[in-house]
Structure 1
Amino acid sequence: MFTEKEIQTAKDNGWVIVTGASDDLMEFEGALRDEGGCFDGGQVWFSKESVYNGEDDKEDFPNCIEALWCDKASKDEDGNVIPWTYKTDIPHETFMVYEDGEPYCCGIVFSVNDLQ
């Protein structure tokens, strides 16, 4: 989805890029490279270094992003449902990802400095 140069630019600037993959993953690129499971939507908890995998102490993962899968309220400017959208209290910006001309994801970008 992103070139290595774009990912390196995000990493160098302390930015984290979040997008959906398939119907079950939240991908983190840039200053944090990891992925979290969210089949049909759900919450992914993470720290500045990694995503909670269910085995570690959850208290070490204070940040959360909720993935919404095919939320009927999440539409692009043409009224098409966006398969992947996100909710979080982390300050962020959004961007659209299209696949074959159709909306695929409303991704987010945030600074690792805004994480707990």
Structure 2
Amino acid sequence: MNTAVAAPQITLQAIQSSQIAAIGHCPATETLAVQFFRKGAPADVYHYANVSATEYAAFAGAESVGKHFYAHIKPHADKHPYTNMGTPAVEQAPVKLSKELLAGLLTGREYGKEMAKEEKLQAKAAGLIVIFGASDDLMEFRGFVDDERGAPTIALLDAKGLLPFREDIQHDDDALKDYFARAPQVRAVDALWGKEDGYSWTYRTDVPHATFEIVEGGEPYCRGIVIDVADLAAEPG
């Protein structure tokens, strides 16, 4: 069905699927956007209501997005009524996933379910580093950097990613040469445990970043950050 009611503007991300061209989500209105293929080309975009951030994460991170859609969303029109938004009149250039957009998407995620597989891949492609805490002793990195560090700690980052600890480099001449070449340009991110009321983990850095909140049982757990690698290549202002 068509409607004249104003709809949320949802950025679509292309995916690998034989039936679905692209997907997107608006956490504020819990609206899922799905663009289908028609005759091999991206066609109509449908908006599905009442799809939570958790449900979207499961959908976007599914091994087969198409199978998940036809098993968990399309059959439940009573819960997820849909609107055909039509085919975009003009094909627009892909919108780069920004640190602000990604942080907005991640806000409100539950501890242990911070990012879907597809979101990690999108963050990596966009050159974004997502940082959040786990347990009481880990600093997690996703996206452009996929790693973890024991924490509290100070992580050193540059445009290449995470700098290794000097003590972890033993007798590898190439690794040592790379370490000392990168060290003067790195920027610090300080992982803080229990330093701010209401949060287990927070982060301090002079690198431009966007923040998001991870919850546990409905209560704030971690205020994570998203950094654009492009900002790590710039001189501190």
TM-score by length of structure 2 reads: 0.42
Structure having the higher Rg? 2
Question: What residue ranges of structure 1 are gaps of 5+ in the alignment?
Answer: 76-80
Runs of 4+ in 1 over 6 A off after TM superposition: none
Match of 2:188 in 1: 64
- 1:98 touches 1:105 (CA, 8 Å); kept in 2? yes
> What letter is aligned with 1:9?
Q
- 1:6 and 2:119 equivalent? yes
- Cα distance in 2 for partners of 1:23, 1:108 equals 17
Residues 1:51 and 1:100: Cα distance change in structure 2 (over 3 Å): farther
Identity of aligned residues (%): 39
Question: What residue ranges of structure 2 are gaps of 5+ in the alignment?
Answer: 1-113, 170-175
Matches within 5 A, 1:32-47: 32-38=145-151, 41-47=152-158
Matches within 5 A, 1:7-22: 7-22=120-135
**Cα-Cα RMSD:** 1.7
- 2:157 touches 2:232 (CA, 8 Å); kept in 1? no
Match of 2:200 in 1: 83
Residue 34 of structure 1 and its aligned partner are, at CA, apart by 1.2
Match of 2:216 in 1: 99
| Larger helix percent | 2
- 1:20 touches 1:27 (CA, 8 Å); kept in 2? yes
- 1:67 touches 1:87 (CA, 8 Å); kept in 2? yes
Aligned residue pairs: how many? 107
- 1:50 and 2:162 equivalent? yes
- 2:207 touches 2:232 (CA, 8 Å); kept in 1? yes
